Amino acid sequence: MEHTEVSGNLYGTSKAAVRAVQAVKRICLLDVVLQGVRNIGKTDLPPTCIFLRSPSLGRLEQRNTDTGQSLAAARADKLESSKEPGLFDLIMANHSLDKAYRALKEALSDEMKKAQGTGPS
């Protein structure tokens, strides 16, 4: 379904893995880089794509958990994502964990109902 190389590491998601999650009436959440989002959009599995934007790249730098290469990728993703109309269904800022969680839950509410068979299909 999607695969990419980030900072020398290979990452990917198979359609079978997503279908296995759907089979137990759940929605599958993926954390992918921008190229992965583009690849998923080309599949027969219709995604809801949400970009969770850090309020500032300075916050990422302060965590000291990311390499220079991954920070460069984050900067590029942040710039590129705003230039591609229609790539994301929702772009939300991560200023507060509680607010971001509520916004995500609201954005995925219809998807959760569909997965459980209680909403519009």
Which CATH number is 36's domain given? 3.40.50.300
Least confident segment among 4-8, 74-78, 100-104: 74-78
Number of domains in the chain: 1
| pLDDT above 80 for 64 | no
Q: Residue 89's domain spans which residues?
A: 2-115
> Is 121 inside any structural domain?
no
**Amino acid present at 105:** K
Residue 68, in any domain of the structure: yes
46 compared with 69, residue with greater pLDDT: 46
Mean pLDDT score of the chain: 79
When mean pLDDT is compared across 52-61, 88-97, 100-109, the lowest value belongs to 52-61
